[in-house]
Amino acid sequence: MATEDADPIAPETCPTATGMPMLGLGTWQNDDAEQCAESVRTALEAGYRHIDTAQAYDNEDAVGEGIAQADVDREDIFLATKIWISNLEHDDVLETARDSLDRLGVDYVDLLYVHWPAGEYDAEETLSAFSELYDEGLIENVAVSNFQPEQLEEAVDVCDAPIFANQVELHPLLPQDEIREACENYDVEVVGYSPLARGQVFDQPELQAVAEKHGVTEAQVSLAWAREKGVTAIPKATGEDHIEDNWASLTVDLDQDDIDTIDAIDETSREVDPDFAPWN
């Protein structure tokens, strides 16, 4: 468990997946501008180097402000944002991606996602625009989010640029085995949002038992479990305590018995389930 007198955990301690830090700060629903900027600054100065936002979060300005305030070089930050479903027509992608860069105050983002395969999404039209942004150097990597295996296969087939990652809800109550297998088959990284199942992990006896065994929190166990699965986790946190507690998960080493215990959880819960989701 993180303590006030614990030695700081250096950024290079965080493992990477194809250059992407495997623990990042999520900013979904962090829509108080001052609080959002402060949480981003706090995370970066604590050691985080992966920040995730989206057009739909309405906080790109604040995220950019937090990056500007932090004593961390832009080149050392892996920054991701997402194009919302109403902006996925070809020309809208090109225009609104540039708007996102302006709001973030950066010349490029490291990762640009299709937020959902919904709304104005058309695989060929949408992803051709992403490829143009990639070729122009405005985005370092093309990614998708909330894609089922069949949508991922289509995206990989039609996109001229490589599909770098698929971001999906993923936690011990929704391990997404099928999607993780598909991503492995297509050499696509998996990024997990809501990795703490909106707090439900704290109530799971299996996670409580593993946490007690290691003297850490259920949140840290869940994040360590994701890492063992090869998943990059981006937990949302606003306060300094939670930001640092999540970061301290990098020191948690689970053994196979721990993994087996967590994998045996038979409760399933999906926290994000809009009507337009591809599984509905």
Residue at 4 is within a domain? no
Percentage of residues in the chain having pLDDT higher than 70: 98
Q: What is the pLDDT of residue 5?
A: 52
Predicted confidence (pLDDT) per residue in 237-251, tens digit:
999 999 999 999 999
Report the alpha-carbon angle 176-258-14, nearest 5.
Answer: 70
- pLDDT at position 177 over 70: yes
Which pLDDT does position 2 carry in this prediction?
44
- Note whether residue 248 is domain-resident: no
How many CB atoms are closer than 10 A to CB 162?
15
C-alpha distances in Å from residue 108, one per residue of 16, 55, 256, 272: 20, 15, 40, 29
| More confident site: 16 or 7 | 16
Which residue among the candidates 48, 57, 113, 121 is catalytic per the annotation? Answer: 57
| Model pLDDT for residues 32-87, shown as the tens digit of each residue | 999 999 999 999 999 999 999 999 999 999 999 999 999 999 999 999 999 999 99
Structural domain containing residue 113: 19-196+230-239
Would you say residue 29 has pLDDT above 60? yes
The DSSP secondary structure of 20-56, one letter per residue, reads EESB-EE-TT---HHHHHHHHHHHHHHT--EEE--GG
- To the nearest whole number, what is the mean pLDDT of the chain? 96
Look at residue 89 and tell me if it is in a domain: yes
In a domain, 209, yes or no: no
**Average pLDDT, integer, range 156-179:** 98
Res 8: pLDDT: 81
In a domain, 253, yes or no: no
Helix orientation angle between 240-247 and 218-228, rounded to the nearest 10 degrees: 40
Q: Above 60 in pLDDT, residue 1?
A: no
Name the domain count of the chain: 1
pLDDT at res. 169? 98
Main-chain dihedrals φ then ψ at residue 129, nearest 5 degrees? -70, -40
Residue 218 domain flag: no
* Integer Cα distance of 249 and 206 in angstroms: 17
Q: What is the pLDDT of residues 93-150, one digit of tens each?
A: 999 999 999 999 999 999 999 999 999 999 999 999 999 999 999 999 999 999 999 9
Is there a domain that residue 102 lies in? yes
* Dihedral sign (CA 174, 178, 179, 180): positive
Q: Do the domain assignments include residue 210?
A: no
Residue 146 token pair? 């909330």
CATH of the domain at 59: 3.20.20.100
Identify whether 57 is a catalytic site residue.
yes
- pLDDT, mean of residues 9-20: 95
* pLDDT of 178 above 50: yes
The predicted pLDDT at position 6 comes to 58
User: pTM here?
Assistant: 0.96
